[in-house]
C-alpha cells in the first residue's frame, strides 16, 4: 500500500496548480485539492510544503537568504520533486527485487531487462548464450 500511496502522491503533485502573484511571486491556493491530497498522502505539513514549492534558500557563507521563485522556477521545482520521489521509489523497487533474486549457489540462467532510451530488450542467458526477445 505504501508504494501505491507514493505513486498516487506523485500523480497528485503533478496536478498541483502554482499561480503567479504580484512581482513574479508564486503561490498554491488553499483550495487546491491535488495539493492537499499530496500532503495528506505523504503526511506533510501543507504550510511548509507550500512555502518550499514557491521559495528557495541560498546559503552564502554564513548568511542564509530565502527568495521567491518565479512561475517557471516553481513549476520546475514541482516537477523535479515529483521526478525525484519517483526515481527514489523505482530505485528502491529494483533493489528489493534484486535482493529477492539473490542466489548463493551456481547460476544456471539469467534474465535481465535493458532499457535504452525507451527501447526495452529482454535478454536471457543460458550457459553463455544470449537470445534477444
Mean pLDDT of 94-122: 68
Domain extent listing, the chain: 2-103
pLDDT tens-digit readout, 53-64: 999 999 888 899
Kindly state the percentage of the chain with pLDDT values over 90: 59
Please give the pLDDT value at position 104. Answer: 73
Residue 111's pLDDT band, with cuts at 50, 70 and 90, is: low
Question: Which pLDDT does position 127 carry in this prediction?
Answer: 44
Q: Does domain 2-103 have CATH number 1.10.3130.10?
A: no
User: Residue 36 and residue 16: Cα distance in Å, rounded?
Assistant: 9
Q: What is the pLDDT of residue 124?
A: 47
pLDDT > 60? residue 48: yes
- Exposed e or buried b for every residue in 76-108, given b needs 16+ CB within 10 A? ebbeebbeebbeebeeeeeeeeeeeeeeeeeee
| Residue 132 confidence class, pLDDT cut points 50, 70, 90 | very low
Q: At residue 103, does pLDDT exceed 80?
A: no
Lowest mean pLDDT among 48-52, 65-69, 108-112: 108-112
Tell me what pLDDT residue 50 has.
93
Q: What is the mean pLDDT of the chain?
A: 84
Look at the block and give the residue holding cell 513574479.
Answer: 24
> Average pLDDT of 102-129?
58
What is the model's pLDDT at position 85?
95
Amino acid at each position: 500500500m505504501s508504494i501505491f500511496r507514493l505513486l498516487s502522491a506523485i500523480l497528485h503533485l503533478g496536478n498541483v496548480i502554482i499561480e503567479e502573484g504580484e512581482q513574479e511571486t508564486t503561490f498554491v491556493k488553499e483550495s487546491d485539492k491535488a495539493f492537499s491530497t499530496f500532503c495528506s498522502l505523504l503526511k506533510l505539513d501543507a504550510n511548509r510544503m507550500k512555502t518550499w514549492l514557491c521559495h528557495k534558500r541560498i546559503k552564502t557563507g554564513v548568511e542564509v537568504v530565502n527568495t521567491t521563485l518565479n512561475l517557471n522556477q516553481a513549476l520546475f521545482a514541482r516537477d523535479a520533486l515529483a521526478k525525484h520521489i519517483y526515481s527514489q521509489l523505482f530505485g528502491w523497487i529494483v533493489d528489493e527485487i534484486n535482493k529477492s533474486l539473490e542466489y548463493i549457489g551456481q547460476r544456471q540462467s539469467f534474465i535481465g531487462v535493458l532499457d535504452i532510451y525507451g527501447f526495452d530488450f529482454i535478454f536471457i542467458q543460458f550457459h553463455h548464450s544470449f537470445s534477444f526477445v
